[in-house]
């Protein structure tokens, strides 16, 4: 089971621990992942197989977590919510959009552009947590830029 979890992390990381457990259960033919099953699988996995960061995302190793993160195009189409996309991925996206924008662009416009890159589907900023996650990522980028 640990080897399967490592293989999933090699391809999918960073991903939330919950998402890793769901993918692991599905790999073994278990379609329903109830809380008790999630807890059992979590206990079986332990922490030695991978690195979990402060945001609760699982990485293949601590070294992998230290590398710069790029955003994954249409990532939102493959997860249940934007909270399952690492904040550093969102910051990388907002950094790229900000750098590529000519002149002043509103926060709302940047968030809409980001949402179009995160999803091939028509989505709204008003969806649960979307605007907050994107504005938080933009604020992170702006704080980093202020530090230069």
CA–CA gap between residue 12 and residue 15 (Å, rounded): 6
* pLDDT digit string, tens, across residues 11-65: 989 999 999 999 999 999 988 889 999 899 989 888 878 899 999 999 999 999 9
Give CA separation, 49 vs 8, 14, 61, 70, in Å: 11, 14, 8, 23
Pairing of strands 57-59, 15-16: antiparallel
Reported as a single tens digit per residue, the pLDDT across 95-144 is 999 888 877 888 999 999 999 999 999 888 888 899 999 999 999 998 98
């Amino acid at each position: 089971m640990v080897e399967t979890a490592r293989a999933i992390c090699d391809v999918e990381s960073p991903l939330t621990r919950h998402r890793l457990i769901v993918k692991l259960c599905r790999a073994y033919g278990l379609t329903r992942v109830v809380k008790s099953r999630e807890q059992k699988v979590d206990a079986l996995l332990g922490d030695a197989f991978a690195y979990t960061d402060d945001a609760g995302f699982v990485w293949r190793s601590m070294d992998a977590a230290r590398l710069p993160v790029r955003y994954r195009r249409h990532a939102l189409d493959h997860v249940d919510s934007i909270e399952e996309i690492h904040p550093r991925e969102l910051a990388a996206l907002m950094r790229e959009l900000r750098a590529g924008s000519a002149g002043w662009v509103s926060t709302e416009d940047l968030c809409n552009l980001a949402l179009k890159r995160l999803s091939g589907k028509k989505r709204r900023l008003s969806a649960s947590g979307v605007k907050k996650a994107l504005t938080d990522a933009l604020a992170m980028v702006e704080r980093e830029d202020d530090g230069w």
